[in-house]
Structure 1
Amino acid sequence: MDSNEINDSLTEVPEDKAPETSVSPITAEEETPVLDVKQKMEKIIERLKEINNDPCNADKSELNQLKQSFYKTLKYNQDTLYKEYLEAGGAPESYKMVANDYENQFKEIMSSIKEKRNEMLAVEDKDKEENLRRKLEIIEKLKVLSESTEDSNRAYNELKKLQQEWNEIKGIPQAKSNEIWNSYQIYVEKIYDIIKLNNEFREYDFKKNLEIKLHLCEAAEKLEDEEDVISAFHQLQKLHQEFRETGPVSKDLRENVWNRFKTASTAVNKRHQQHFDELKDKEQRNLDEKTVICEIVESMEYDSFKSFQDWDNKTQEILALQAKWKTIGYAPQKMNVKIFERFRTACDEFFSKKGEFFKGLKENMSNNLEKKKELCEKAEALKDSTDWKETAALLTNLQKEWKSVGPVPKKQSDAIWKRFISACDYFFAEKNKNSSSKHSVEITNLELKKEIIEKLNAINAKEVAEESDEETIKGLIKEWSNVGHVPFKEKDKLYNKYHDIIDKLFTKLNISSSQKKLSSFKNSINSKESNLYREREKLSRQYENLKNDLQTYENNLGFLSSSSKKGSSLLTEMNRKVEKLRSDLDLILEKIDIIDRSIQEEIDKEDNQ
């Protein structure tokens, strides 16, 4: 490997690796090192120390691999420390990066290798200048020899001596290489062509040179099948050097031999250029993909995030985008660091806004907790009332007021809700117990529902279902839903029979899953007594959460559709989620409508009593 190439590699910054070691928000999983962090860093430093003992034979690819591996391990260590810090309750904006002693050792050794290489380069440059001087002297001797008319045998022997001396001299400055070589070749060929050499010597030398050059042509042609394009290109450079150093062949073969070698060289060089063109195109595609991700994060509408769920949903999206970023390769070198800084800035802004939101929300939740405690006290003061109608209306209003109050701290959310709903449930349970006509109505309802089950059994007994059966079943289901409560002891047995026959008919008539869920919900509502308000509250909360989710996905879906086709990998999944959310929202609205009708029926019954 050329010493300049190795020395250049020592100053390279590992693309997309070194800059990311300081990024705290990115927490997506990476490939875990085989060894633990300490062992791996120590192993890399040990290998660098070995290279530092003999930098003249350093291998560029190994140095690059060691650098990438070191910075990848360093980043993994820093991400792990940051994750542990967050899990321990630390705030992202307060995190400080922990210094790493191995990084300082790594930089010192790499600097030492570079310094030694620079010293070696200085010596090499001096040697190349001396080699240039010696080759110029040989060219002068060849010039004199080409103009001499002395004995051809003596001239031939002198020529071979000068050629051997020329081949023993190593590299010269690259800028003079072609010029010196051309001058050398001109005088050598002139000597062969002009002076009257002995035909036997001349033909022997031409034959020997022809064998060597044909062998070099074959070697160059085989390089076209070499899988490693870079290796093939470097091997070709060595073949070119050997071709130059080999003497001429007979005049009638010179052009053919050179054209054959040139054709093979062109094929290898074309593959080499194509490889870098493809690499450039791939890096541009990577930049396009990363730009789309940056635009998605930068387009966040922070003013629309009003709840825990909003921020949690967006956090999952950010983490998914960060994981996607990790799977994308390097962008073009000039843009690689810039696009990463853009992405990191957008992520930092998101997590900063999230921190501000939760800080303000914490204060609001404390106020909400006090409001809900007051509502609990009011509900508990009303739970023993026997003024059924007026108290039911008051408790219903309290439940509506409860919905208008925002969230409370998560640790107290369940407890305060159970306290409030327990007071409401107690009142409505007592209210139902005091309904004088309840028992007789339940007996009547029991007989009506038994008749419905018998009708359903009759339909199921048919060998072949008729088209009208589906409408009949729907009518019986609606009739069942309209029938009120049955005696508690008979309830489970009766409902089991009903559900068994309905399941069979659903399977037989292939009634849709959503109809089945809705019918099942109607039956479960009829089996409840005083929990309608609590069930409605639960469904309302589910509806609002799903509605927020739908809005989030629709916003992102619209952005992806209008921005770039690069987001197509996310588009399909988002469309599927949007359709599912819309279906779930429609089903919840139907359930709420059923509950509202049931509540109104209860109120109408009370007004008639």
Structure 2
Amino acid sequence: MSENDNLQHADGKKEVESTETTPTQPTEIEMNAAEAEVNNDLDEGSVIEIVETEAESIVKSEDDDVEETPETEAPKDDLVDEIEASNAEDAEDESNAERHEVEEKDYHAMTMVELTAEMGRLLKTHKIQTISKHVNEIKGEFNAKFSELLDEKKEEFIEDGGNEIDFYYTNDTKKQFNSYYKEYKQTINVYYKEREQNLKQNLDNRLQIIEDIKGLLSVEENMGTTYKTFKELQEKWRNAGPIPRDKYNTAWNTYHHHVERFYDFLHLNNDLRDMDFKHNYDQKLKIIERAEELAEDENTNRSFRELQVLHKLWKEELGPVGKEHREIIWERFSNATKLIHDKRQAYYADMDKAHEKNLERKEEIIAQITALAEDKGNSHSAWQKKIKEIEALRDAFFKAGKVPLKVNESTWAKFKSAVRTFNRGKNSFYKDLKKDQYDNLKKKKDLIQIAEDNKDSDDFATVTPLMKKIQNEWKTIGHVPRRDSDKIWKQFKAACNHYFDKMHTERKAQDQHLYDAFDKKVKLLDELKTLELTEDPKADITILQDKIAEWKAIGYVPQNKRYIDGKFYKAIDDKFDKLKMDKSKLEMIKFESKLENLADSDDTRLLDNEQNFIRKRITEIKSEINQLENNLQFFSNVKSDNPLVKDVHKNIANHKKELDTWKAKLSKVRGMYS
């Protein structure tokens, strides 16, 4: 039996192992590095593509041209097949480790803008050979979404009276996406052209190395020198670079076969051979222990990815072990591999269940879209509400996750059909609405004509009511086509503004004396605000009264400027409040100032309102005094110097004093009438 009968290949043959004794063989540190490498494994849900390669298992003996096959063939193992096929693919591309660093994203849930941005990001941040799978997924999702948009635009075009043969639509997002995809195709084509040449050359180099190893068997020289040459050839093999995947297993099988023949040729030097066997045995135990640890890892994709690396190390870096260990360690490694395989199969079974739930959710969303499509809205607001609901459902559909592959296309077709039906109903409604909008446009243009015909009129008494009337009519007319809305509003507004500006300018010229009075009052108000009072209350009162008299002497201001009178009398009250004098007297002085202001008003209702307010306040104070006097009856047996009794008497006195002030104010108001 061959020394490597227990290591199985993707083609069903067992692997022929090589040996290594130099420090370049995988040490424990290198094994840890391999572990670190696979932390950049495939994301959950990704599937390793199984590439079938029919490796040539027949190798020729140097001496006799007779086909050699292993004495025993193990049954084909699906998982090892998959691992070998994937490692063969990896061997063709040295950057494969980087490929798995590309983050998996849910492209189905992205918008066209987001997909375009993601395409640009991939081109900018990753090597071109690592993103093919992602680019193809993004392209598929983008084309599906753009196709849906294209259908909508086409229907709108035809319903607006366009001829289907004349339809064309694109947008900036589509143009940018096409630019990115063109860049990708050009770059990847250049890469594959260069790589094809490199792979062919590397294969030629490896075949020559095999020939050189075969040649060692016929060299007649010192065994130590021959062994050194053999190790140098192994190092050249290790650094020879990637080769075509379909030649990978054949090349490795042939290489291992002749490495094994060299060890047979070396059997006289048992020390060298035993040292290699022991080293390989120790390293393979470490690989087995790591595989058994991976069997406990819950992240099945990560464990499978690292298992690939372990199989690659077992096959490519390590040579044979002693015959007494071969079947035992391979069986142990195979058992750990099977455990990982079983967990991975269970993981995909759970994923299938999740995809079924996603399918249920998407079918619910499609049913909701269908229901909205059947609900015929009869107003713009109702349709706008439904449009927002459809947008929310579309987002929910894209974010619902993947469905089973066998129903993916049919589910997408049902979704597009439901959305298309809704859009047809929406377009039909707005087509009818556009007819109404064109009627409204004509009505508003008629009002614009009236406004422009009268905008230069000097007959303000006649035209002003007309302009106000057409402004009100404008508000009652419904929507017009969006493309005309701003334009006609600006025309109408300009004509109306022209008229009213002209009217206000002429009226202002007639009432210039009122505007001059306003300017004087503004100046006087500013002076009052900065006025510093003296310590003599009588002198300060005289000053403030003079200010009031000066204010009245200025006269009237324009109707829309009369607010300044309120500001002035408020400022006067603020100054009075700062005088150091009896509060009741001060209150009467302020009140007299207020009455003079009311008397100057043409509105007699202001004086009536003031009189009614004072009467009401007098009634309230009298009621409060009566209540306090009634409260005193509860203290009939309490001494007069009791704090509570004294407080009640004090409140009664204050209320009576306040009552006298309000009575005096009432008398002043009555005097104003006469």
**Fold similarity call, TM over 0.5:** no
Relative contact order, CA 8 A, sep 6+: which one is greater? 2
Interval containing the TM-score (normalised by the shorter chain): 0.3 to 0.5
TM-score, scaled relative to structure 1:
0.43
